[in-house]
């Protein structure tokens, strides 16, 4: 079974959590694309859908969904998204696709957050995947210097502008032994829009697809 089959299986497993009349939030990325392509099969269950990125919105609209804003729906019943790294404590690193800020908003607004991954994303400690940070363009070098002081190696994601008009710094070689503490510390740097550590609002459920099937950690 290749990685795509596992992503598809994780996406299929998440469908079971979608109940009639739900206001659903959806993330961004190749794993979520499998979910987006399955959603037309359960269209009648979904009352409203909110998207975390332009990329996801385009795909939803191509399937005939009308995408609603978070402002017009209030809280989400359920948010489903992928991750770049996840631990058994349900802490995540996200933002490989650059949509971390809107993803964090939707996760924060959700009564339940389900993260779908293949087994390659499950790690003992976060930090091997370069940590994405969305920054105000004028603060990019300043935030990068602060990350060097925190012993990271920041690399500017060249030729990339987020849906919010900002830049991304990918910070290499961090060993994130205390995700909650580091998330708070990076959030306090002026010019940081958001950091890709999801520990303050972790996932509630992790669905991990491997060669055997799909394992569940969490509720
Ligand atoms: C986008 C994200 C994605 O969830 C993350 O990058 C995982 O993507 P993929 O499913 O393509 O591996 O955080 O900002």
The answer on 177 and 104 residing in a single domain is no
Q: What is the mean pLDDT of the chain?
A: 98
CA 159/CA 198 separation, integer angstroms: 25
Do residues 147 and 210 share a domain?
Answer: no
Q: Nearest CA to 176 among 129, 141, 134, 218?
A: 129
- The number of the ligand 1 atom at minimal distance from the alpha carbon of 117 is 10
Q: How confident is the model at residue 86 (pLDDT cuts 50, 70, 90)?
A: very high
Ligand 1 in reach of 94 Cβ (< 6 A): yes
* Distance from Cα 99 to the centre of ligand 1, integer Å: 8
Residue 199 pLDDT: 98
Q: Please check whether residues 50 and 144 belong to one and the same domain.
A: no
Distance 84 CA to ligand 1 centre (A): 6
Is residue 80 over pLDDT 90? yes
Residue 82 has pLDDT above 90, yes or no: yes
- Judge if 46 and 108 occupy the same domain: yes
42 & 115 share domain: yes
- Tokens linked to 12: 């299929």
Confidence of residue 208 (pLDDT cuts 50, 70, 90): very high
For the segment 175-184, the average pLDDT, to the nearest whole number, is 97
What's the pLDDT score for residue 1?
Answer: 85
70 pLDDT higher than 90: yes
Q: Is the pTM of this model over 0.95?
A: yes
200 burial type by CB count under 10 A (0-12 exposed, 13-18 middle, 19+ buried) = middle
For ligand 1, whether the C-beta of 130 sits within 6 Å is no
Ligand 1 mean position, distance from CA 94 (Å):
6
Atom of ligand 1 nearest to the CA of 81: 4
Dist. CA 29 → ligand 1 center (Å)? 4
So what's the pLDDT on residue 48?
A: 98
3-state secondary structure of 36: helix
**Amino acid 219: pLDDT:** 78
Q: Single out the catalytic residue among 103, 119, 134, 158.
A: 103
| Residue 18 and residue 68 in one domain | yes
Q: Per-residue pLDDT for 153 more than 90?
A: yes
Q: What's the token pair of residue 112?
A: 């339940």
Ligand 1 atom at minimum distance from 94 CA: 13
Average pLDDT estimate for 65-84: 98
* pLDDT tens, position by position, 97-112: 999 999 999 999 999 9
Residues 90 and 148 in one domain: no
Task: Say if residue 151 is in the same domain as residue 136.
Answer: yes
Structural domain span for residue 162: 131-196
State the CATH number of the domain containing residue 177.
3.30.70.260
d(CA 140, CA 138): 6
Same domain, 178 and 206: no
pLDDT at 201 over 90: yes
- Are 78 and 12 members of one domain? yes
Determine the Cα–Cα distance for residues 80 and 27; give it in Å rounded to an integer: 6
CA dist., res. 212 & res. 116, Å (int): 16
Nearest protein Cα to ligand 1, atom 1? 97
Say whether both 44 and 19 belong to one domain.
yes
Note whether 154 and 100 are same-domain residues: no
């Amino acid at each position: 079974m290749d990685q795509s089959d596992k992503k598809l299986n994780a996406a299929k497993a998440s469908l079971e959590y979608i109940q009639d009349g739900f206001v659903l939030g959806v993330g961004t990325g190749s794993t979520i694309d499998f979910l987006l392509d399955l959603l037309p099969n359960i269209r009648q269950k979904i009352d409203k859908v909110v998207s975390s990125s332009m990329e996801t919105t385009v795909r939803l609209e191509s399937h005939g969904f009308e995408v609603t804003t978070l402002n017009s729906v209030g809280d989400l019943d359920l948010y489903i998204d992928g991750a770049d790294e996840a631990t058994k404590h349900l802490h995540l690193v996200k933002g490989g696709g650059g949509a971390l800020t809107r993803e964090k908003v939707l996760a924060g607004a959700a009564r339940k957050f389900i993260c779908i991954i293949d087994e390659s994303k499950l790690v003992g400690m976060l930090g091997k995947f370069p940590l994405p940070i969305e920054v105000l363009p004028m603060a990019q070098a300043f935030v990068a210097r602060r990350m060097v002081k925190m012993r990271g190696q920041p690399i500017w994601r060249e030729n990339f502008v987020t849906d919010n008009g900002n830049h991304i710094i990918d910070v290499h070689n961090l060993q994130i032994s205390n995700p909650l503490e580091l998330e708070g510390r990076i959030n306090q740097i002026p010019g940081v829009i958001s950091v890709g550590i999801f520990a303050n609002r972790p996932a509630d459920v992790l669905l991990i697809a491997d060669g055997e099937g799909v394992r569940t950690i969490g509720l």
